[in-house]
Amino acid sequence: MEEKLNELKEIQGTLTDLGNASAVLNWDQETYMPPGGVESRGRALATLARMAQEIGTDEKVGKLIEELEPWAAEQDPDSDDARLIVVSRRGYDKAVKVPPEMVAERAMLTSQANAAWREAREKSDYSIFEPFMEKIVELNQRYADLFKPYDHAYDVLLDDYEPMMKTEDVKKIFAEIRPKQVELIEKIAASDQVDDRVLYKFYPEDAQIEMGDEICRAIGYDFKRGRQDKVHHPFSTNLGYGDQRITYRVDENFFNPYIFAALHEAGHAMYEQGIPKSLSRSILYGGTSLAIHESQSRLWENLVGRSQPFWEWYYPKLQQRFPEQTEGVSLEEFYKAINKVEPSFIRVEADEATYNLHIMLRLEIEIGLLEGSIQVSELPQVWNDRFESYLGIRPKNDAEGCLQDVHWSFGLFGYFSTYALGNLVSLQLWEKIKEDIPNLDSHIRKGEFGQLLTWLNEKVHAHGSKFYPQDLVQRITGEKINGDAYIRYLNKKFGDIYGL
């Protein structure tokens, strides 16, 4: 069996190499590629996607998995090799339903759609992106149809990012936490408001990036295996073992967007940097799901980066770097400013109390588009109406409305829910971390993050994608994904800040 296992691993290594090549091309398109390269880049990505699909769905792969399954059943069920066969079976059974031509079509379409989205966002003109959005919705509908019968077409898309999770599961979780978050937001709105003027001063881009580099290094992001580059919409990407990159955008007149995005993307990259080399070039390399990935990024962004102990460590350094901007502003005032709760238009800049409402809105819209109850031509109007219903404010233009996120230009339907699920998981993990490292706050106050990162490496990162997300969360915390810890956290943190 060892020969057959090695043959399967070599095929998966080839697929990993093709995926890494595609990731490099995508990263370059987002960072440095000139606009004139869109068409040829789309063709290159389509070719790589078709090749990978043809190799990965070859009958030989299915036969190898079938022959290895009885052997794997006799191994330690938690071993790398046993889990590789289980995960490979699931991945193969899904992949064979998708023709290579559709995979290539998606790669070509989304390459062009992303370029159109960037132009549309810059001009705040949805009509530029609308024809591509029509094709993306239609492609996702055809893709979902390949997996009939299903309980809901959205299940198919959600499963690509959150394995084994159903639409009804997500709706149920959201239904449980939404009224509790709304109640908290209403209490905060009735309280004395936080003064956040310190955040809206001039913070030079170069100085912000120097600050971000310093903080990302301190928390454990390895720049020998990564780098930062400027883009329209921040993201992290894995270009292969030892190459996990992060990106940023800067607003020189608003402090929050850069630093919290840097912490967020570094959290993603540190997850990938923590996966052992033994899993590289296999189907087990990478995060187990996007919710688990988001739990890592949101943990570093919010539970560390927006915490009082963190700024007890870094605020004196910030005052040295930006003396004029922080003059006369105490640590307590700054801490409250970065945690101000106020409905806002841009998801990535939303506070912790309102953030999940942004996600619930997107879930409703994606399901409506997939079902056909919302037409693509209606998207800006539907977005604005529902946004006003959810958050009490109405976007003034398409850029701060339905064009703010890059995801749909890449065809990523089913993705958004994982952000909110990641918030919930981050707090389930955080409560367990606090049990295991009771003096964690004192470490953070000193700028010492090694113990925390080691815990995450051992409990989360080391497994790669061996275990499905619900199983992994239960292994670590004893519970499946739920919002109880998150609601406790929100009520305690903002109760203290706003004196509730």
Q: List pLDDT tens digits, range 455-470.
A: 999 999 999 999 999 9
Look-up of token digits 């290594």:
13
- What pLDDT was estimated at residue 341? 96
Q: List pLDDT tens digits, range 372-396.
A: 999 999 999 999 999 999 999 999 9
Residue 1 has pLDDT above 90, yes or no: no
**Structure letter (DSSP) for residue 236:** E
Q: List pLDDT tens digits, range 42-65.
A: 999 999 999 999 999 999 999 999
Q: List pLDDT tens digits, range 306-315.
A: 999 999 999 9
User: How many whole angstroms separate alpha carbon 21 and alpha carbon 394?
Assistant: 41
Q: List pLDDT tens digits, range 278-302.
A: 999 999 999 999 999 999 999 999 9
Look-up of token digits 């009082």:
308
Residue 133 has pLDDT above 90, yes or no: yes
Percent of residues, the chain, with pLDDT higher than 90: 97
Q: Listing from the earlier edge strand, what are the strands of the sheet with 244-248?
A: 228-230, 244-248, 236-238
Q: How many CB atoms lie within 10 A of CB 69?
A: 14
Nearest to 20 by CA among 219, 242, 191, 168: 242
- What pLDDT was estimated at residue 397? 97
Q: How many CB atoms lie within 10 A of CB 385?
A: 12
Residue 348 has pLDDT above 90, yes or no: no
E strands, 254-408, where?
none
- What pLDDT was estimated at residue 488? 97
User: What is the pLDDT averaged over residues 335-364?
Assistant: 95
Strands 228-230 and 244-248: parallel
- What pLDDT was estimated at residue 279? 95
Cis check for the bond before 257: say yes or no (omega within 30 of 0). no
User: What is the pLDDT averaged over residues 327-344?
Assistant: 97
- What pLDDT was estimated at residue 233? 80
- What pLDDT was estimated at residue 232? 81
Q: List pLDDT tens digits, range 76-120.
A: 999 999 999 999 999 999 999 999 999 999 999 999 999 999 999
Residue 430 has pLDDT above 90, yes or no: yes
* Domain assignments of the chain as residue spans, ordered by start: 2-149, 167-498
- Average pLDDT along the chain: 96
Tokens of 249: 């955008």
User: How many whole angstroms separate alpha carbon 239 and alpha carbon 117?
Assistant: 24
Q: How far apart are the first and last CA of the chain?
A: 63
Are 104 and 50 in contact by the 8 Å Cβ rule? The answer is yes
What's the Cα-to-Cα distance from 167 to each of 91, 163, 419, 448, rounded to whole Å?
20, 11, 15, 40
Instruction: Given CATH 3.30.70, say whether it is the number of domain 2-149.
Output: no
User: What is the identity of the amino acid at 167?
Assistant: T
User: How many whole angstroms separate alpha carbon 101 and alpha carbon 468?
Assistant: 29
Q: List pLDDT tens digits, range 23-49.
A: 999 999 989 999 999 899 999 999 999
Residue 197 has pLDDT above 90, yes or no: yes
User: How many whole angstroms separate alpha carbon 169 and alpha carbon 291?
Assistant: 14
User: How many whole angstroms separate alpha carbon 249 and alpha carbon 234?
Assistant: 6
Q: Which helix (H) or strand (E) holds 233?
A: none
Q: List pLDDT tens digits, range 170-182.
A: 999 999 999 999 9
User: What is the pLDDT averaged over residues 143-156?
Assistant: 95
Q: In the CATH hierarchy, which top-level class contains the domain 167-498?
A: mainly alpha
User: What is the pLDDT averaged over residues 471-495?
Assistant: 97
C-alpha 314 chain-centroid distance = 26
pTM as predicted: 0.93
The alpha helices in 96-239, defined as continuous H runs, are 100-123, 126-145, 153-161, 167-189, 205-219
Residue 450 has pLDDT above 90, yes or no: yes
Which active-site residues does the annotation give? 265
Nearest to 221 by CA among 145, 306, 300: 300
Are 406 and 232 in contact by the 8 Å Cβ rule? The answer is yes
If DSSP codes are grouped into helix, strand and coil, which group holds residue 244? strand
